[in-house]
């Protein structure tokens, strides 16, 4: 009888993904509850099984090789599906309604994939989504009108226990020609948006002359203005529409700070906890960001 080749062990893939994302065997060993030598052995087993080196030590710690980068993208999807299957069979049936808040920009990028996967594993739950600026969503959560909400860093309430899902840089986006105009024409969200504050503080701190050319309630509106060649704006790393690109020091623009995306919960309930875990897992595995 023909022997079948061995399959990929999810435990090996999970250790590989954690190392590739975090650049550390030590932190990965702590996360998976194993010794560092045991994790190293896991990676050797995986490399022997696949016949290619997957990780290399570089200037920034441990980094994936070209084969490792190829595997990383697929391992995230395998682990997400593996965890979804286990959760579906192990967790008791959850039913009811949950009210989720999200800024418009996050809703467009991530919620379609997140909610589709959640509906597949929790078909008896109805999700009601409210889109609004982060500060308004935090207020509505405090008033009991939402069960949980995504929010941008800088809008978290005092003493609020925020679960940070992702952290990365803000970017200037637009066209090179517009970015070299002085005063710099800028389009930003209205009100107390954290991105608006970060952009203005960076421009003022650099002593750069600028003017508020347009304002919008969402990133989509700001991008429309940049596509028209009227101003630059700020955005997070993600696919951009054709016609605009990332801008920076080469165009004379000041560096922008990192920012975080968080999840804030209201009073606990089974349906809200189930959705919160699903959102956290989507970001942890990279599934949410890959869908952007």
**Calpha distance 113→110 (Å, rounded):** 6
The model scores a pTM over 0.75: no
Locate 13 and state its tokens: 């893939």
Decide if domain 171-256 falls under CATH 3.40.190.10.
yes
HEC letters along 173-203: EECHHHHCCCCEEEEEECCCCHHHHHHHHHH
**For the chain, which residues score pLDDT lower than 50?**
1-4, 290-292
Classify domain 91-168+260-290 by CATH number: 3.40.190.10
The predicted-structure confidence for 187-196, as pLDDT tens digits, reads as follows: 998 777 788 8
**What count of other Cβ atoms lies within 10 Å of the Cβ of residue 4?**
6
**What count of other Cβ atoms lies within 10 Å of the Cβ of residue 214?**
17
pLDDT of 1 reads 39
Q: Could you tell me where in the chain the CATH 3.40.190.10 domains are found?
A: 91-168+260-290, 171-256
**Calpha distance 68→16 (Å, rounded):** 9
- Nearest residue to 173 via CA among 124, 227, 132: 227
Q: How far is CA 149 from CA 92, 107, 204, 288, in A?
A: 24, 11, 31, 16
Reported as type and span, the H/E element at residue 119 is: helix 111-121
**Calpha distance 42→50 (Å, rounded):** 12
Q: Evaluate whether 7 touches 46 at the Cβ level (below 8 Å).
A: no
Reported as type and span, the H/E element at residue 45 is: helix 36-50
Q: Could you tell me where in the chain the CATH 1.10.10.10 domains are found?
A: 10-75
* Residues shown for the chain: 292
The predicted-structure confidence for 227-260, as pLDDT tens digits, reads as follows: 999 999 998 877 777 888 899 999 999 999 888 8
**Calpha distance 188→221 (Å, rounded):** 9
- Nearest residue to 233 via CA among 224, 109, 107: 224
Any alpha helices (H) in 57-110, and if so which ranges? Answer: 66-90, 104-109
Q: Which CATH class is domain 10-75?
A: mainly alpha
Q: Evaluate whether 224 touches 232 at the Cβ level (below 8 Å).
A: no
């Amino acid at each position: 009888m023909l022997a079948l080749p061995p399959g990929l062990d999810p435990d090996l893939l999970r250790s590989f993904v954690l190392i590739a994302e975090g650049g550390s065997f030590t932190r990965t060993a702590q996360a998976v509850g194993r010794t560092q030598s045991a994790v190293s052995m896991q990676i050797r087993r995986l490399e022997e099984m696949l016949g290619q080196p997957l990780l290399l030590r570089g200037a920034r710690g441990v980094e994936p090789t070209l084969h490792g980068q190829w595997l990383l993208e697929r391992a995230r999807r395998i682990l997400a599906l593996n965890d979804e299957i286990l959760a579906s069979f192990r967790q008791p049936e959850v039913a009811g309604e949950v009210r989720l808040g999200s800024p418009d920009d996050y809703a467009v990028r991530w919620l379609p994939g997140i909610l589709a996967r959640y509906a597949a594993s929790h078909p008896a739950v109805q999700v009601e989504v409210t889109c609004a600026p982060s500060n308004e969503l935090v207020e509505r959560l405090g008033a009991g009108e939402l069960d949980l909400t995504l929010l941008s860093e800088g809008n978290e309430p005092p003493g609020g226990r925020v679960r940070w899902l992702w952290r990365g840089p803000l970017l200037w986006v637009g066209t090179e020609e517009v970015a070299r105009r002085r005063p710099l024409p800028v389009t930003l969200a209205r009100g107390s948006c954290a991105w608006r504050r970060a952009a203005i503080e960076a421009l003022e701190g650099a002593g750069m002359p600028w003017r508020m050319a347009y304002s919008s309630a969402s990133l989509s509106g700001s991008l429309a203005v940049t596509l028209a060649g009227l101003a630059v704006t700020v955005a997070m790393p993600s696919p951009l529409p054709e016609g605009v690109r990332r801008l920076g020091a080469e165009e004379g623009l000041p560096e922008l700070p990192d920012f975080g995306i968080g999840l804030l919960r209201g009073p606990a309930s089974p349906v809200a906890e189930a959705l919160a875990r699903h959102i956290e897992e989507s970001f942890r595995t990279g599934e949410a960001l890959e869908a952007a």
